[in-house]
Amino acid sequence: MDTAQERERITARVSSSVAEKINEAAELVGTTVSNFLVQAALKEAQRVIDREKTIYVSKNDAVMLLDLLENPPAPNAAMTKAYESFMKEKYGSEGPGT
């Protein structure tokens, strides 16, 4: 049994010159204006999402990050104190089982 997908409508007002250009492009690729707009908007939406969710680093930064992951520095006094405070608050002691 097929389940009908919920559909939403998106409307936009554009100038005549923009509408003509979109119509021409849709005709050239052999699709409807609606389908052309949906595909173009979807492609752009995915590009924006990918751009905003990706972190770009230089080669030098990547090497540094990988080195830090493979060889983390020893905890300093502030980190040790924060860990002990967290464990005390979470477990009521210096750690689980102590």
Q: Where are the beta strands (DSSP E) in 1-98?
A: none
Record the pTM.
0.57
Segment 27-81, tens digit of pLDDT: 999 999 999 999 999 999 999 999 999 999 999 999 999 999 999 999 999 999 9
Mean pLDDT calculated for residue range 16-36: 97
Pairwise CA distance, residues 10 & 42, whole Å: 13
- For residue 78, give both structure tokens: 């502030």
The DSSP-derived string for 61-86 is HHHHHHHHHHSPPPP-HHHHHHHHHH
Distance (Å, whole) CA 85 – CA 95:
10
Rounded to the nearest 10 degrees, the angle between the axes of helix 16-29 and helix 33-53 is 90
